[in-house]
Structure 1
Amino acid sequence: MTAKAMTAKTILLTGATSGIGLALFEQYVSRGDKVIACGRDEAKLARLAPRAYKTCQFDLNSPDEIKAAMQSLSLDNVLAQVNIVILNAGNCRYIDDAKQFDGQLFQDIITTNLTALGWLLQGALPKLRSGSQLVFVSSSATILPFPRSQAYGASKAGIDYLANSLRLDLLKEGIDVTLVHPGFVKTPLTDKNDFNMPFLITSEQAATAIIAGVDKRKRYLHFPKRLTLLLKLFSLLPASLWQKIITLK
């Protein structure tokens, strides 16, 4: 057995069919890791199946589908093999008129991006062994509020708290937690944005940064730093000043 085979990881990856998730899938598989590719689109999953260790289809908005998928992976003894869980899947939609607040849109985004994680964790966490790793892909949008991002930002802020709180409770279990704050990444989701996205990077660049940080078992990753450090600097300024900067058109 080669050294590479001995160190191969088994990775449960949500949102594996597009964007950052697809780039993660490609890079992990190319280096010899075994990826359980999770997604909603059956046709896209079918295209990954020949190279995936296993595919798993479910809709993040359906707790029953998530629970059934996790139970299936558990019965097949697949979850017990997992070294890394990467919770990457999500959606982004904007509230264009805050005065006419869209409650349904808000609920949909919170459900997809945050509530679904509870069902995924319920299924996966009991099977994770000491030495495993949980990775939450959040957003640099939580560093500083952005216009129109009430739903998306709130869901990602919830992920931040979830990850940081779980880290405390899982310490005694020997399970590490990594929180990821990407900046603007070119994906099918961001292709819909109608505003300037400074320091835009590719999905492949994002995946490379995530894998490098996860390999080092870092608690917190943020990139590209020319954006995230700028946002952190803005957050230290008086509110009246950074609000003017961030709402400039």
Structure 2
Amino acid sequence: MNILITGATSGIGKQLTLDYAAAGHHVVACGRNQQALDELQNIDSNHIAGQQLDISQADETVQALRSFTDLDVVILAAGVCEYLDIDNFEADLFARVFEVNVVGTMRCVEALLPNLKAGAKLVIVGSTARLLPFTRAEAYGGSKAAIHYITRSLQVDLAQRGIKVLHVSPGFVETPMTAQNDFEMPMQVSVDFASQAIRKGIEKNKIDITFPRMFGWFLKLASRLPQSWQVALSRRMT
């Protein structure tokens, strides 16, 4: 298969790149860090091609990605996380997070969609953080809630073109991004676990790839509670 992955220089995106390449697939690894891209290519230059890309840059993103055709799978995994300081409320924080997680991701869709053919799979990585009103997660959780809704609508609109749209909702995964968290992360899994879960879900065409299963089940159940109960639960967890 021909696979394009954004956010490929670290975390889940990097592990997916390595695992797909090891399985003999051809991967276009996209990321901001050229040195990290070079290192990926040095590991397996026969199966990995690097593309330097900052999805917060509109013209650069569209121009770079429109040149890729004949893709079987697109995995949009690039994202950022910033937590809100409620005593120093900053609207620009929302702009920064949404610029990458929502607008940047949709720039990738804009650039790649014209070249996707029937049978292609568009995989968008969200987060289980969208399921509950977690403390300080207004920007990050809000961006992932937006991504989830957009993905569901794309599933409707792209079905007639034969393009499968899949949504990924990871729990806590051990990555450089989560390493900055200063709170307990229950049921945290490795990037190897995450990559296996995502690849298996893509192979089975699961429109909702949520892991780890128990953590996702708990949050989905909690999200069905009355809103006041959800707030009370999140306050207790805090």
Q: TM-score, normalised by structure 2?
A: 0.94
| 1:27 and 2:19 correspond | yes
| 1:196 and 2:173 correspond | no
Give the corresponding residue for 1:82: 71
Q: How does 1:207-218 map to 2 (within 5 A)?
A: 207-218=195-206
The residue type paired with residue 5 of structure 2 is L
| 1:45 and 2:40 correspond | no
Give the corresponding residue for 1:92: 81
The residue type paired with residue 73 of structure 2 is I
Aligned Cα root-mean-square deviation (Å): 1.2
CA distance in 2 between counterparts of 1:15 and 1:191 reads 16
Is the contact made by 1:80 and 1:129 (CA closer than 8 Å) also made in structure 2?
no
CA distance in 2 between counterparts of 1:96 and 1:237 reads 27
CA distance in 2 between counterparts of 1:118 and 1:241 reads 33
Give the corresponding residue for 1:14: 6
Query: Aligned residues: percent identity?
Result: 40
The residue type paired with residue 92 of structure 2 is Q
1:100 Cα deviation (Å)?
A: 3.2
Q: Which residues of structure 1 form unaligned runs of 5+?
A: 1-8
CA distance in 2 between counterparts of 1:56 and 1:70 reads 9
Give the corresponding residue for 1:58: 53
The residue type paired with residue 55 of structure 2 is L
1:55 Cα deviation (Å)?
A: 1.2
Is the contact made by 2:17 and 2:27 (CA closer than 8 Å) also made in structure 1?
yes
| 1:174 and 2:169 correspond | no
1:241 Cα deviation (Å)?
A: 3.0
- For these two proteins, the number of residue pairs brought into alignment is 234
Cα deviation, 1:185-219, whole Å, max 9, x if unaligned, reads 11000000011111000111001000000011111
1:158 Cα deviation (Å)?
A: 1.2
Q: TM-score, normalised by structure 1?
A: 0.90
